[in-house]
Chain A
Amino acid sequence: MTVSDPATAPQSAATAAPRPGPGGIAAAPLPPGLFHDGAVLTVEHLVVEFPAPRGRRVHAVSDVSFDVRDGETLGLVGESGCGKSTTGRAIIRVDRPTSGRVVFDGTELTALGPEALRRARTRIQLIFQDPISSLNPRRRVRDIVAEPLAIWQRGTPAEREQRVRDAITAVGLDYDAAADRRPHEFSGGQCQRISIARALMLDPKVVICDEPVSALDVSVQAQILNLLEDMKARYGLTLLFIAHDLAVVRNISDRVAVMYLGRLCELGPSDDVYARPAHPYTVALLASIPEPDPAAARNVTPIAGDIPSPIDPPSGCRFRTRCPFAQQRCTDEVPPLTAIGPERFVACHFPLATSGPRSSAGSAGSSPEPAPPIQVDTPPTAP
């Protein structure tokens, strides 16, 4: 995948004129190279706001732009309430974007009418955090998995059953044992397998995984992540993987996008971002990954304070209230997403690691790579 020529990119910086969004959010110009040729999903200046009491607005997602290339896994990370799930939901218009564009496979989802959206949406599927809530407790597994085919009347009943059998087997469940049971008879991990089987029934191009393993036991997390990787390879999927656990994201993602309080902080290839984080928030997030070795030196103090309210986000850089390096400029100006290297983008006035004036903080980024608590590559052993 090469960095695209801006003129041919589906939504390049050149064609994307800055548009003032509602709530006074002026869409910043996008750095060249942010969007790629042949990206299967392009999110451009996405803004999602919800009405709050007394005429105020919750700024859930503010001017977020990124794309997902065909066949890649993009990890979207950030702490709870940073808008990462809302971003995922706004892409398929479950939450209505306030402004901005979402282009999927050449179709602008944000411009579609209800019926066209209903059709286009089948090729983007969602996997939810709570595996049990995502399955109807009153329906049998065979009906749950067959539902997408039943909705669209695809195939004969016999063909449908065969496809359901294949899908349930593919996600590692015994069809004959599972088909006639109801979700409450399964564990969380098994329910998530059923969800994955269901999501694959409509031959989706993109699967948005909204914290698919956060509700699972750590041992089961690895199994589900393995399964997602397998399914991705087998069905040629593109994944948008939303999670708050950086260790999980690192193992599965080709690129990582870090969000904080509705804004994109940093975007780049996983290994690069983990090895040399440029945004102070990314540094703090990486430092929060638990270190398996209790004797290991921890040279970064965790960031102080709580995440500010998205109803009244800080001016300028939204991370400035907790950033150890914040200066006057961070209050005055919203830092635009800027290229700091090939495929590396950061929204910070004083990015770390690459520019290097702040070696003290840079040491955090160059610290030994945190060992992920989950060894995804190791096949789990059956007890």
Chain B
Amino acid sequence: MPPSPDADAAALPAAGARLAVAASMSVPASSASKRKLGVVFWIAVAWICLVVVMAVFAGLLPIDGPDNLSYLSKLGSSFSHPFGTDELGRDLFSRVIFGSRVSLEVGFGSIFLGLVAGGFAGLIAGYMRGIFDAVTSAVANVILSFPALLLLITVAAFWGRAWWKITLIIAIIATAPLFYVVRSSTISFAGRDFVLAARTMGASRWRIVTREILPNVMPAAISFGLIGVAIAIVAEGTLSFLGLSVAAPTPSWGNIIAEGQSSTAASDPWIWIWPTLIMFMTLLALNIAGDRLQRFFDVREGRL
């Protein structure tokens, strides 16, 4: 049989072009911007990348060590000390960069672990339902009902303050919301006809979960995860501010801010303003990136 010469089949590119024309005729600006992530998103991503690169290569940067004491430097900013020095004469710029290591390690590390554990459980619970879903949901509920910060403080106080311990605690707390996001997203996709089609074609459960559902769940998980990273950084910063995270002299954003508020440093607010500002910008960037990503994928979903 020759392919029937019908409208929507004869010329795909032509059909696409017609669609594009129709779209541009109706609402050109909004339809165009809806499909893009936008400049703000890329600025946010660039900032996150900058912070991460600086943290990773902090040792190679032409800056003082975070524990170098230079008694001769003034407190205020100068060419060699762009953020100035703290009350002990340590370069603040260096301390903020080295301090970001702890924040980023804990932030990204805990969410990565939480996403792997919570995501895996969420996928299986959402697709299989039944007893596994009931049990994992109950566990997630229990985790969610702990007051997170109190739990963190208590565990950090009694268990220890190594960065990996903080990471692990935050990861466990983060597992529950990440589990729920992945689970609910999985449930909604598992009911779609393409999953049923895969079943009738004979795909195994593993194949359905990894090939059909996972790619659809990933965007939501990652955009939510970025926001999770911001929350985890705040949690670490709070612990650190309270002196319950990494011990001095290792810098972290939280303990630099805390030191900036001590009585001897009170004369120079920049000591806590700089780390606060960098932390704020990073959190903002993470939130914007996560939020834009979420909206971007929502729009794509909405088009379907």
A contact set with B: CB distance below 8 Å: 92, 94, 118-119, 121-122, 124-126, 128-130, 132-139, 147-148, 151-152, 169-174, 177-178, 183-185, 187, 189-190, 193, 195, 198, 202, 219-220, 223, 226-227, 230, 233-234, 379-380, 382-383
Contact of A151 among B8, B15, B203 (CB under 8 A): B203
Query: Beta-carbon contacts of B240-253 to A below 8 Å, as 1s and 0s?
Result: 00000000000000
Q: Is the CB of B5 within 8 A of A137?
A: no
Query: Which residues B70-97 have CB closer than 8 A to chain A?
Result: none
Is the C-beta of B34 less than 8 angstroms from some C-beta in chain A? no
Contacts of B3 in A (CB 8 A): 169-172
Q: Is the CB of A382 within 8 A of B5?
A: yes
Contacts of B13 in A (CB 8 A): 174, 177
Give CA–CA (A296, B283) in the complex, Å: 70
Interface CB pairs A-B, < 8 A, 5: A92-B200, A134-B196, A136-B194, A173-B12, A380-B7
Are A382 and B1 also in contact (CB < 8 A) when A133-B192, A133-B193 are?
no
Query: Which residues B1-54 have CB closer than 8 A to chain A?
Result: 1, 3-13, 15-16, 19
Q: Is the CB of B194 within 8 A of A189?
A: no
Contacts of B303 in A (CB 8 A): 184
Are A174 and B4 also in contact (CB < 8 A) when A118-B202, A139-B215, A151-B207 are?
no
Contacts of B291 in A (CB 8 A): none
Q: Is the CB of B200 within 8 A of A382?
A: no
Q: Is the CB of A173 within 8 A of B9?
A: yes
Contacts of A193 in B (CB 8 A): 9
Contact of A187 among B15, B202, B300 (CB under 8 A): B15
Is the C-beta of B216 less than 8 angstroms from some C-beta in chain A? yes
Q: Is the CB of B193 within 8 A of A379?
A: no
Contacts of B4 in A (CB 8 A): 172, 223, 226-227, 230, 379-380
Q: Is the CB of A138 within 8 A of B216?
A: yes
Q: Is the CB of B12 within 8 A of A126?
A: no
Give CA–CA (A129, B196) in the complex, Å: 12
Give CA–CA (A344, B9) in the complex, Å: 39
Contacts of B15 in A (CB 8 A): 187, 190
Q: Is the CB of B6 within 8 A of A223?
A: yes
Are A184 and B196 also in contact (CB < 8 A) when A119-B202, A147-B203 are?
no
Query: Beta-carbon contacts of B89-130 to A below 8 Å, as 1s and 0s?
Result: 000000000000000000000000000000000000000000
Query: Beta-carbon contacts of B198-233 to A below 8 Å, as 1s and 0s?
Result: 111111100100011001100000000000000000
Contacts of A173 in B (CB 8 A): 9, 12
Contact of B9 among A152, A172, A234 (CB under 8 A): A172
Are A382 and B6 also in contact (CB < 8 A) when A122-B202, A136-B194, A198-B197 are?
yes
Give CA–CA (A65, B198) in the complex, Å: 28
Question: Would you call the interface of chain B mostly helix, strand, loop, or mixed?
Answer: helix
Give CA–CA (A171, B1) in the complex, Å: 10
Contact of B304 among A137, A189, A198 (CB under 8 A): A137
Query: Which 8 A-B residue pairs are closest in the complex by CB-CB distance?
Result: A172-B9, A134-B193, A177-B12, A138-B215, A172-B3, A128-B193, A133-B193, A136-B194
Q: Is the CB of A184 within 8 A of B304?
A: yes
Given contacts A136-B216, A187-B15, 11 further A-B contacts (CB under 8 A): A118-B202, A125-B201, A133-B193, A133-B194, A172-B9, A183-B304, A184-B303, A187-B8, A187-B19, A198-B201, A226-B4
Chain A residue with Cβ nearest B300? A184
Give CA–CA (A134, B3) in the complex, Å: 23
Smallest CB separation, B197 vs chain A (Å): 6
Q: Is the CB of A132 within 8 A of B304?
A: yes
Q: Is the CB of A121 within 8 A of B200?
A: yes
Contacts of A132 in B (CB 8 A): 304
Smallest CB separation, A129 vs chain B (Å): 8
Give CA–CA (A136, B190) in the complex, Å: 11
Contacts of B7 in A (CB 8 A): 219, 223, 380, 382-383
Smallest CB separation, A71 vs chain B (Å): 16
Among A134, A171, A226, max chain B CB count under 10 A is at A134
Q: Is the CB of B1 within 8 A of A230?
A: yes
Give CA–CA (A148, B196) in the complex, Å: 13
Q: Is the CB of B198 within 8 A of A147?
A: yes
Contacts of A382 in B (CB 8 A): 5-7, 10
Smallest CB separation, B180 vs chain A (Å): 22
Give CA–CA (A284, B196) in the complex, Å: 34
Query: Which residues B285-301 have CB closer than 8 A to chain A?
Result: 300-301
Contacts of B301 in A (CB 8 A): 137
Chain B residue with Cβ nearest A119? B202
Contacts of A129 in B (CB 8 A): 193
Q: Is the CB of B192 within 8 A of A234?
A: no
Contacts of A380 in B (CB 8 A): 4, 6-7
Chain A residue with Cβ nearest B19? A187
Q: Is the CB of B197 within 8 A of A223?
A: no
Give CA–CA (A134, B200) in the complex, Å: 12
Are A190 and B196 also in contact (CB < 8 A) when A136-B212, A147-B203 are?
no
Contacts of A202 in B (CB 8 A): 201
Q: Is the CB of A148 within 8 A of B201?
A: yes
Contacts of B11 in A (CB 8 A): 174
Chain B residue with Cβ nearest A192? B8
Give CA–CA (A122, B199) in the complex, Å: 10
Are A190 and B1 also in contact (CB < 8 A) when A121-B200, A137-B304, A147-B201 are?
no
